[in-house]
Amino acid sequence: MISAPRTATDRTKLPYCHESFHNLQELRHSASLANKVFIQRDYTDGTVCKFQTKFPSELDSRIERTLFEDTVKTLNNYYAEAEKIGGQSYLEGCLACLTVYLIFLCIETRYEKVLKKISRYIQEQNEKVYAPRGLLITDPIERGMRVIEISVYEDRGSSGSSSGSSTTSSSGR
Amino acid sequence: MKNREYQQIDPQALATPTPTPPPRPLPEHKTKRARRKWEVFPGKNRFYCDGRIIVARQSGVLPLTLGLILLTSGLFFIFDCPFLVKHLTSCIPAIGGVLFVFVIISLLQTSFTDPGILPRATPEEAADIEKQIDNPAASSSSYRPPPRTKEVVINQQVVKLKYCFTCKIFRPPRTSHCSLCDNCVERFDHHCPWVGNCVGKRNYRFFYTFIVSLSFLTAFIFGCVTTHLALRSQEGNGLVFALQASPASALELVVCFFSVWSILGLSGFHTYLVAANLTTNEDIKGSWSGKSGNEDVGNPYSYNSLIKNCCSVLCGPMPPSLIDRRGFVPSDDSVQTSPVEIELPAAKNDINMVGRAVTSGRPPPPPPPVVTLQQPAISIQSHSTA
């Protein structure tokens, strides 16, 4: 309904967004998008949000397997925490039922809080781990929680246009 | 580049104040205002209050549902309650009032909440999936290939995930495409014409509250009206006089009598579904009941505990809306601040590469390569409220 759980927008109102943005903007200026790799969902545990930890071959030369797996596993843990059915979620659910769910308009649900944590985590990972390697992770919520999209950039300085569809035409700026 | 533009524009910004407070004003080719995503939403939904409220395209019989409830309850409070308060107790309007509030609020929530719509795949995603599906040296035919499915094992059950040609994704388990709304909905239960919306993962608990409270309300009104008429006919000279004295009660009686059975039945049915952690869709298709001849099938999503099933369906965490109705569309020209000239060719190349996947007639937001980082910045600038 109206407020319903917030979406991508709220999560982006983070205090350090600007600084990280400027750092990552450097990446923009010196690199061009070569490819996008998609990490799909892992449905073996049912409908809970979980991503496959299988290391994609396209990232073989770009990042260490352990780093990648750590990122995905941490994300999976966050989502598991958000969707955990336990004491707190029961309390939230019962309280919500008693107020005819109007309470969702007023307070931030646990899921939303965890989504904010996830957003911060991804930002931090991008800054520290992925951007230096010419990669960028898109928050899954921006893609409907279907995939983790990893953008692979080619360094324009070095020989670009390896495989992939990266553009080489830049308008000279 | 964008940086240089920004520095140039900054001192000149005084002369031409922009409506949005941008640390990075959008480039010169932004001639129209930024649009919100609900305005370019590809499904058949309608939006109100600038994207805050979402309903299906056909409101179905929602006005009728609302009208009937309001009419019957109104007549009850006006014509029956005074008599009952005088002769019985004043708790009656109180209880009726609480039930009425529950019914109306949960009805509106069911109708206006995003049921769990899955956004359609971006062109790159669609291309990536197509690459995985298509075999090399495949047919050169131009006809649509047979439906694609993917199998996954959940709780020792083999579940088939179907590919949705409209949304260009493999549907997650329990997701179904609603043809009326033209969206894939997670944990799709059914499309309810009475509430004018799909019932899915996000609004199932509202729907359940609605039908349960409605059954209580209907039964309550029915009982009270019967009591009212009975008391009146005892005082007076029979039922006919009682009905003459309070004709509204007759109308309420008729409405309640005919609806109470179906609503009670529906509540009972959904209580069974909740207890078994099933959806109407699965129950009707007999996915887990072995109707299709499969032995040894059971519901892989059930916790095999009544309490746990009920709690997970009704008291589980509230998932977020995935369609971000009030977010802004990253438009072609403005997109993300950064080197626009360089982004566009990249975007175009991407689009060419995935040409086959981009079949939708609607204008999807182009695949902005840098959307991850720019979006936060843009959101800060231009989002007033989520």
- Helix B306-314 to helix B247-276 angle, to the nearest 10 degrees? 110
Q: Quick: pLDDT tens for A139-148.
A: 999 888 999 9
The C-alpha atoms of residue B178 and residue B304 are separated, in whole angstroms, by: 29
Question: What count of residues does chain B have?
Answer: 386
The C-alpha atoms of residue B385 and residue A41 are separated, in whole angstroms, by: 30
Predicted local distance difference test score (pLDDT) of residue A92? 86
Residue A90: which of B311, B322, B376 has the nearest Cβ?
A: B311
Q: Quick: pLDDT tens for A47-63.
A: 889 999 999 888 888 88
What residues make up the domain containing A115? 32-52+63-154
Question: Per-residue pLDDT averaged across A122-135, rounded?
Answer: 91
- Determine, yes or no, domain membership for A8: no
Size of interface A-B (CB pairs under 8 A): 221
> Tokens standing for B262?
């179906």
The sign of the CA dihedral B296, B297, B300, B303 is: negative
Longest Cα separation, chain A: 63
Taking an 8 Å cut-off on Cβ atoms, the answer to whether B172 and A93 are in contact is no
Q: Quick: pLDDT tens for A36-50.
A: 899 999 988 888 899
Full-model pTM:
0.75
- Determine, yes or no, domain membership for A15: no
Q: How far is A104 from chain B (nearest CA, A)?
A: 9
Question: Per-residue pLDDT averaged across A20-27, rounded?
Answer: 57
Predicted local distance difference test score (pLDDT) of residue B353? 41
Higher pLDDT, B257 or A28: B257
- Which H or E run includes B6? helix B2-12
Distance of alpha carbon A20 from its chain centroid, rounded?
Answer: 15
Higher pLDDT, A24 or B203: B203
Residue A165: which of B112, B119, B349 has the nearest Cβ?
A: B349
> Please, which residues 250-289 of chain B have a Cβ atom closer than 8 Å to chain A?
none
Predicted local distance difference test score (pLDDT) of residue B136? 45
* Phi (first) and psi of residue B191, to 5 degrees: -95, 115
> Please, which residues 108-137 of chain B have a Cβ atom closer than 8 Å to chain A?
108-109, 112-114, 118-119, 121-122, 124-125, 128
The C-alpha atoms of residue B291 and residue B285 are separated, in whole angstroms, by: 8
Q: Which long-range contacts (CB under 8 A, 24 or more apart) does B24-27 make?
A: B24/B337, B24/B377, B24/B381, B26/B333, B26/B334, B26/B337, B27/B2, B27/B333, B27/B334, B27/B340
- Asked if A129 and A71 touch (Cβ cutoff 8 Å), the reply is yes
> Tokens standing for B297?
């099938």
The C-alpha atoms of residue B11 and residue B373 are separated, in whole angstroms, by: 25
- Determine, yes or no, domain membership for A145: yes
Contacts of A109 by beta carbon, 8 Å cutoff, 6+ apart: A5, A92, B317, B318
Please check whether residue A52 touches B, CB under 8 A: no
- Determine, yes or no, domain membership for A18: no
Return the ∠ at Cα B143 (arms to B137 and B145), rounded to 5°: 65
Residue B285's Cβ-side half-sphere holds a number of Cα atoms within 13 Å equal to 13
> Tokens standing for A28?
């923009």
Predicted local distance difference test score (pLDDT) of residue A169? 42
Taking an 8 Å cut-off on Cβ atoms, the answer to whether B380 and A5 are in contact is no
Sheet holding B157-164, edge to edge: B149-154, B157-164, B169-170
Residue A2 has pLDDT above 80, yes or no: no
Tens-digit pLDDT profile for chain B (386 aa)? 444 444 444 454 454 444 444 444 444 444 567 778 877 888 888 888 887 788 888 777 899 999 999 999 999 999 888 888 888 888 899 999 999 999 999 999 999 999 999 998 888 888 888 887 765 444 555 555 566 888 888 888 888 888 998 999 999 999 999 998 898 999 999 999 999 999 999 999 999 999 999 999 999 999 999 998 888 888 877 888 888 888 888 888 889 999 999 999 999 999 999 999 989 988 888 877 765 555 556 788 888 888 888 888 888 888 888 887 777 777 654 333 333 333 334 444 443 444 343 343 344 444 444 434 444 443 333 344 43
- Asked if B358 and B123 touch (Cβ cutoff 8 Å), the reply is yes
Predicted local distance difference test score (pLDDT) of residue A114? 92
Q: What is the DSSP string of B178-193?
A: ETTTTEEETT--EEET
The C-alpha atoms of residue A84 and residue A77 are separated, in whole angstroms, by: 10
- Determine, yes or no, domain membership for A140: yes
- Asked if A8 and B379 touch (Cβ cutoff 8 Å), the reply is yes
- Determine, yes or no, domain membership for A7: no
Q: Which amino acid is at A115?
A: L
Taking an 8 Å cut-off on Cβ atoms, the answer to whether A90 and B386 are in contact is no
Mean pLDDT of chain A: 78
Please check whether residue B308 touches A, CB under 8 A: yes
> Tokens standing for B131?
């690459």
Structural domain count, chain A: 1
Q: Is B167 one of the annotated active-site residues of the chain?
A: no
- Determine, yes or no, domain membership for A13: no
Identify any residues that bridge with B12 across adjacent strands, giving them in sequence order: none
Taking an 8 Å cut-off on Cβ atoms, the answer to whether B311 and A93 are in contact is yes
The C-alpha atoms of residue A170 and residue A36 are separated, in whole angstroms, by: 20
Q: Considering only CA atoms, which of B248, B259, B274, B265 is closest in space to residue B217?
A: B259
- Determine, yes or no, domain membership for A58: no
- Which H or E run includes B266? helix B247-276
- Helix A87-98 to helix B306-314 angle, to the nearest 10 degrees? 60
Q: Considering only CA atoms, which of A32, A44, A54, A76 is closest in space to residue A164?
A: A32
Predicted local distance difference test score (pLDDT) of residue B331? 64
Q: Tell me the CA distances in angstroms from B19 to B33, B243, B378, one per residue in order.
A: 10, 65, 14
First vs last C-alpha separation in chain B: 30
